[in-house]
Structure formats: structure tokens, C-alpha cells
Structure 1
Amino acid sequence: MDAVHIFITTFTTTIGALPVLLIRNLSHRWKDSLLAFTAGIMVAASTYGLIPSALKLSSMSVLAAGILLGTFTLMLLEIVVPHHDLQHSKNNRHVNIHLFLIAMALHNLPEGISVGMSYASHYSDLGPVVAFAIGLQNLPEGFLIALFLFMQSVRGVKMVILVSATAMAEFLAGMAGLYFGESFTSLVPYGLAFSAGAMLFVVYKELIPESHGDGNERTSTFSFILGFLIMTVLTVNLR
């Protein structure tokens, strides 16, 4: 039964993606603004969610090691993973869709482990509470991933499948946390810091440059700050 609860929690990400199916067309200004908004969300999730949590569970040296490992891993993946080309009105730029999805999937791993470990703990009420909090967070996360894919011309069933793939990473991590329990305790802070490094790399290397691709720097900057503030409020209040 715990496995069913973990499945429902993780795949709220897919539910969050469904409203994007109703969107038809977006202007370049809106695309750049929403891309910057997504970047703000990811930065806030890293700085006010992943990084403080890693520090609480470990030390500064573990945090630094995890962030650097996440950064270098994504840097290597960027060289290996093919890019998805975009045609912009002023210049030809690109966003590595695969890199973005990998970063989001990595971000889901420590979340899944925390849900699984909470159900495996000796506290019977802990699992449902953690699962509810993570599931609530997954709804807007799924929407943002789907919105990003929509802006890169990935639509329909393919978009939903890709969003679900990032959720699958969280589900598998949740099952591992459930069955191996305390064996993963020492790895969680590394995973949190690793995810933060991966997300920050994608934000600075891919999302921010692309959001400035059509001369919408001021609008994109405001959207970035707005996304950052909204995610900061949500992160603080959901703790």
C-alpha cells in the first residue's frame, strides 16, 4: 500500500502538466518570460530548498562536493547529449532539452528517497505528511516542465511522456528509499547538493541565455525575479 501512495505522490507531476495541453500559441516575448520564470523557480528551489536541507543534514564540505559534482556531471552531459535547435527571430540559439530533463529528474531523486524513507521510518504519521507536501510541490513543478517543453515545440502525448519520465525517477527513488530505508540516509545530503548544482548549471548555461534570445531582457529579468519570489514563498511555507 505504501508503494501505491508513493506512486500517487510522484505522478502528481504528470497531473500538473495536463493544463499545458490546452495552450495553443505563445509569442516570443511570452516564451522568453516563461523561460525566465522557470529559471527563477529553479534558483529558488536550489537556494531555499535543496541547499539548506543539505546543510542541515551534513556540512559545508559535503554541500560543496555535491554542488561541484552536480555541476561537472551536467557539464560532461552537455558535451555528450545532443542539442535541440530552435529558430529565433533574431538569432539561432538552442536549449538542450535533454539536459533540462536530466536536471529535473536528478532534482526528483532526493525527494523520492525522502518520501520512501518517511514511509519506512518508525513514525507511522510521517509518511503521509511528507508525501502530501512533496505531491503538492510536484503539481506546479509538472506544469513548469510541461510549459518549458511546450516552448521548445514539444507538444501533446510526447510532452506528457517526457514529464512522466522525470516523475518516474522520483518514483524509483521512492521505492529504493522504502525498501532500503536507513541505508540511504548518508547519501541524501549529497543527492540534495548534487541536484542543486545540476539545476544551477542548467539555469545559468541554458535558460537565462535563451530567455534573452529575442531582445526581451527586461521582461525576462522581471519574470525571473517573480518566479524566484513565488517559489521562495512556497518553499518556506511548505516546510
Structure 2
Amino acid sequence: MLEELVAYLGTLDPVVAALLAGLFTWGVTALGASGVFLFKGVNKKLMNGMLGFTGGVMIAASFWSLLSPAIEMSSGEKFEKVMPAAIGFILGALFIFGLDKLMPHLHLNFLKSEGPKSSLHRTTLLTIAIALHNIPEGLAVGVLFGAAASGAPEASISGAVLLAMGIGLQNFPEGIAVSMPLRRMGLSKWKSFQYGQLSAIVEPIFAVLGAFAVGFFMPVLPYALAFAAGAMLFVVIEEVIPETQQEEHSDIPILGFVLGFVIMMVLDVALG
């Protein structure tokens, strides 16, 4: 099944393939958000475990799918070879840092807000927060599809597909993490679902932008891959991991993190 999917996507324009992959990750977020129609709430331990799993998947993908290929495809030796990845990684982290400071948003715990003061409703601020943090995921998918289509030996369509699958897998609990709290705040099930799925709408958009940019600016490919990795890692450390440590039983999200990291690493190395 995976081989047929990879073969099919390999026949498509990279921008179209990236769009389909971005729509998939968005769809999984919507699937998670749809849980609001079936359940009144989610066990906090389970939610923390899923968020820990999310962090593990994102960090594994940052290295195995993005940073490692960025280093491999850079020319030169020693410091010269690693500098494009280092620069791109730092710029990616600074990009999300800048967005955090410039855009008003609310953290998952609904307690801490960041960015300029705003009169926007808390539901809107939460959706903005998740949308901001989904930008690097869309970029990562698009850049990797663009790199594979460009013929870079360090990137492959199968690796891009696996990255999209991994991001989709960790988007499921993100959809739940948005829709369920909104429902508890008094929003209708339909509105809670709408906000939950809307948080991932940026992924297909930035997947297309990433694939399009790589097609025109091949020399910046190592920087672009590392940029996406730095942005993803910033999100994990700044948002995902702290959220799992708000309650007792913090060992559960750590075990979830280890499981997510191992699954993504195995898939990427064995099948990528």
C-alpha cells in the first residue's frame, strides 16, 4: 500500500503532492477534533500521554527527516558542511519566536497568553496559537516533497510521505486538545469542532509554499530543511512539553514521548 502511494505521488508535480499531503495532515486534525461529537471529555493522563507522543514524533522528524538530510546535502567538509544546517535551524527557531511575540495567542492550558494585548475571544486566541505552531509542520512536508522532486539524493518521496504520516499521527491529539476545552467553555459541539479543525488549515497552505519555494531556490534547500526543523523543535520545547508537565503523573507523557520518537525514527530509517 505504501509503495503504491509513493509511486503515485512520485508522478505528480511536487506542489500538488505537497498539497495532498498537507490536506491529509489537516484531515487528521479534523478527525481528532471530531471527538467532541462522541465524548464529553478526555482523561487528562491520556491527553498528556498523547501530547508527549506528539513531541517525540516531532523531534524525531526534525532530525531524521530534516536536519540529517540538510547536513548530508551540504557541500564542503567539517564546519563548512554543517553551517547551512546550523544557520537554517537557528533562523527557523527565531521565526516561530518572532511570531509568538508579534501575534496574540493563548496557550493550550488557557492560562498563559502571549503576544500583544488583544480583544479577541479566547477561542480565537487558542486557534491562532495552534495555527502558528502548525506552520513549521506544513513547511517541513512541502520542503521535503520539493527536495525529493528536485532529485536530491538525500531526500525521497517515501521519506516525505512518512513525514506527512508522522505529522498526521501527532495532529490527532492536537485536534482533541483544541476542541475539547472549547466544548467545556460552553461552545457548541459544532463550533468546537470548527475551531479544532481550523487550527490546521495553515498546513496545506505552507506545504504548497514550501514545495514551490524549493523548486525556484535549490541552493537554499539545506537551509530550508533545517529551518523547518528549528521551527518544529521550538514548538515542542516552548508549547508541547511544558503542557504535559502541568499535572501529576508526568512519567506518562515522557513514556509517550519515547514511544513517539522511536516509532518515527524506525519508520523514517527503515522505510524512508
**TM superposition score normalised by structure 2:** 0.71
> Per-residue CA shift, 1:113-134, capped at 9, x if unaligned?
443465566x9xx9xx955653
Aligned mates of 2:62, 2:150 — CA distance in 1: 26
Aligned residues of 1:14 and 1:164 also touching (Cα < 8 A)? yes
Aligned mates of 1:50, 1:4 — CA distance in 2: 20
Aligned mates of 2:163, 2:24 — CA distance in 1: 9
Matched residue SS, 2:61: helix
- Aligned pairs for 1:7-26 (under 5 A) are 7-20=19-32, 21-22=34-35, 24=39, 25-26=41-42
Q: CA deviation at 1:49?
A: 1.7
Aligned residues of 1:14 and 1:167 also touching (Cα < 8 A)? yes
With over 3 angstroms needed to count, the CA separation of the structure-2 counterparts of 1:26 and 1:212, relative to structure 1, is same
> Per-residue CA shift, 1:11-60, capped at 9, x if unaligned?
22233334322462211111111111111111111122211011011121
With over 3 angstroms needed to count, the CA separation of the structure-2 counterparts of 1:107 and 1:19, relative to structure 1, is closer
Q: Work out the number of aligned pairs and report it.
A: 227
Aligned mates of 2:103, 2:146 — CA distance in 1: 30
Aligned residues of 2:99 and 2:132 also touching (Cα < 8 A)? no
Q: CA deviation at 1:107?
A: 3.5
Partner amino acid for 2:88? G
Aligned residues of 2:175 and 2:196 also touching (Cα < 8 A)? yes
What does residue 244 of structure 2 align with? 211
What does residue 54 of structure 1 align with? 70
Aligned mates of 1:107, 1:202 — CA distance in 2: 10
Aligned residues of 2:138 and 2:206 also touching (Cα < 8 A)? yes
Partner amino acid for 2:250? E
Partner amino acid for 1:70? G
Q: CA deviation at 1:235?
A: 1.3
- Aligned pairs for 1:26-41 (under 5 A) are 26-41=42-57
With over 3 angstroms needed to count, the CA separation of the structure-2 counterparts of 1:9 and 1:202, relative to structure 1, is closer
What does residue 104 of structure 1 align with? 134
What does residue 42 of structure 1 align with? 58
Quote the sequence identity (%). 26
Aligned residues of 1:9 and 1:132 also touching (Cα < 8 A)? no
Query: Bigger shift: 12-21 or 207-216?
Result: 12-21
> Per-residue CA shift, 1:113-172, capped at 9, x if unaligned?
443465566x9xx9xx95565345424423422421321336423322332321221023
Pick the aligned partner of 1:187 from 200, 213, 220. Answer: 220
Structure 2 unaligned spans of 5+:
1-11, 75-80, 115-125, 183-191
> Per-residue CA shift, 1:55-107, capped at 9, x if unaligned?
0111211111111112222222222222325558xxx4579764553343223
Aligned residues of 2:49 and 2:252 also touching (Cα < 8 A)? yes
Aligned mates of 1:174, 1:87 — CA distance in 2: 33
The Cα RMSD (Å) is: 3.0
Structure 1 unaligned spans of 5+:
none
Q: CA deviation at 1:5?
A: 4.6
